[in-house]
Amino acid sequence: MFKTMKNAWRIPDIRKKLIYTLFIIVVFRIGSAIAVPFLDADVIREWMGTNSTGSILEYLNLLSGGNLSKAAIFSMSVQPFINASIIMQLLSYALPPLERLSQEGEEGRKKINQITSILAVALGFVMSTGYYFMLKNSMGAVRYTQGTEGVFAAVVIIFCFVAGSSLIVWLGNRINENGVGNGISMILFAGIIARFPETLKVLAAQAKNDPSKYFFIIPLVAAIFLAMIAFIVLMNNAERRIPIQYAKRVVGRKQYGGQSTHIPIKVAMSGVMPIIFASSFMQLPSTLYLFVQPNEVNPGTMDKIYIKFLQYFNPRHGIYMILYGILIIAFNFFYVSMQYNPVEIANNLRQSNGGIPGIRPGKPTSEFIRKVLNKITIVGAIFLGIIAVFPMIFGSIFEELSSLTLGGTSILIVVSVALETVRTLESQMMMRHHKGFLE
């Protein structure tokens, strides 16, 4: 990876793209240090440190790179855009008008992107409003809450959160156009990496307070993290190759076809998206809690049921882990079905005089591809489930390391983005015929 980065840096136009990407990341980190007016950041940081475990706030804090706990303008991060993209993908699969738009090429994608952006802004207002009421009622972090000053403070806080989220999406689009890699993924990558020093600082402080206990825990954590990274790299590069043979065709004095190739099907083809989908759904009860809070002092019957219901959606709870794993598997199958259509692949092969050796063209080919996809999808879903659920089990055993509860998701995002960026650089160098750099 480092050799690829070094070789890419030598090419002037790729170097410009890398510098531009780094510039956007620096802008993102500068925005992460700008606090929203009328909020007490110290109160928020203290409350988040003790009360956010297992709630949607912990998940948002992960995706924002810790900005949520600092009350920065980028507190909402790309979560409204991710939720809007999830909703649009589901609707594009279910609603014929949106499905037709997605098949209209570049113009259709532009219209879908416009609808997604509008939906993201709307969701940003909903999430920002919920977070504002959480800041006001539960944390007491809003300085002005009464009268005209309170209304003005509420409007400023909510609009700052929405504007920050929109700005992040705009920065991500600039990386897509002028930089290297996927813009949103790069910003998520930068935010998660920025939290690693803080996590190490927490571990060092805990080890200092109880050296005998953490003498064994810290090496165990390091070994698990290295094993997870190796496992993610292995599964990201793993693929099933379906052999394809093209028939020979003679036109005049020239012979066409006759080549042997393959269709690569990656085991982890859906990446981190099923985990993000499942996390968004599993955090819905916690989101509801931001708006409707039970009476915990003198609870009634409904309040007791509501409190019990919320307990099931704590990441330390066994039911949460089981449902989380099931949703990851389900969303992995859904996402793969959106990416691969066995019938379409079989028709394309038949039209190009290609086929799978030993398999008849048409329906038998599509059935064979579907069976292979199902097997690969199961392996990929189990892989994602292990990465997502294992840190939760580890966190429930070692409650002192609660900050590592979502470590599997963050490591998967970081490693996946790094590998994808390296592949992008290699492909760009290949297009410029710099073969020696890749040998």
Supply the Cα-derived Rg of the chain in whole angstroms: 25
Ranges of residues in the chain with a pLDDT under 70 are 1-2, 51-57, 59, 213-214, 248-258, 287, 289-291, 293, 296-297, 395, 398-408, 432-439
For 159-180, write each residue's pLDDT tens digit: 999 999 899 989 988 898 888 8
What are the structure tokens assigned to 437, written together? 């750099």
Q: How many domains does the chain have?
A: 2
Q: Measured between alpha carbons, how far is 169 from 385 in angstroms, rounded to an integer?
A: 28
Would you mind telling me the total number of residues written for the chain in this entry?
439
Q: Let me know whether 60 and 98 are in one domain.
A: yes
Is residue 435 in some structural domain?
no
Instruction: Find the Cα–Cα–Cα–Cα dihedral 17, 23, 25, 30, rounded to 10°.
Output: -170
3-state secondary structure of 323: helix
pLDDT of res. 213: 67
Is residue 417 in some structural domain?
no
φ/ψ of 19, rounded to 5, equals: -65, -40
3-state helix, strand, coil in the chain (%, to 5): 75, 5, 20
Q: Let me know whether 195 and 322 are in one domain.
A: no
pLDDT of res. 439: 47
The CATH number for 307's domain is 1.10.3370.10
The one-letter amino acid code at 88 reads M
Q: Let me know whether 62 and 180 are in one domain.
A: yes
Q: Considering the chain, what is the average pLDDT of its residues?
A: 79
For 351-374, write each residue's pLDDT tens digit: 877 788 888 888 888 888 888 888
206: left (phi over 0), alpha (psi -120 to 50) or beta: alpha
Is residue 420 in some structural domain?
no
What lies within 8 Å, CB to CB, of 420 at 6+ separation is 181, 182, 185
Q: Measured between alpha carbons, how far is 217 from 197 in angstroms, rounded to an integer?
A: 18
Q: Let me know whether 222 and 359 are in one domain.
A: yes
Q: Measured between alpha carbons, how far is 84 from 311 in angstroms, rounded to an integer?
A: 27
pLDDT of res. 87: 81
Q: Let me know whether 171 and 238 are in one domain.
A: no
The one-letter amino acid code at 427 reads S
φ/ψ of 246, rounded to 5, equals: -95, 140
Q: Let me know whether 228 and 316 are in one domain.
A: yes
Q: Let me know whether 169 and 259 are in one domain.
A: no
| Structural domain that includes position 194 | 1-200
Q: Residue 102: how many CA atoms within 13 Å on its side-chain side?
A: 15
pTM of the model: 0.76
Q: Let me know whether 193 and 310 are in one domain.
A: no
CB 335 within 8 Å of CB 274: yes
CB 109 within 8 Å of CB 102: yes
Q: Let me know whether 386 and 256 are in one domain.
A: yes
Is residue 410 in some structural domain?
no
CB 372 within 8 Å of CB 263: no
Is residue 205 in some structural domain?
no
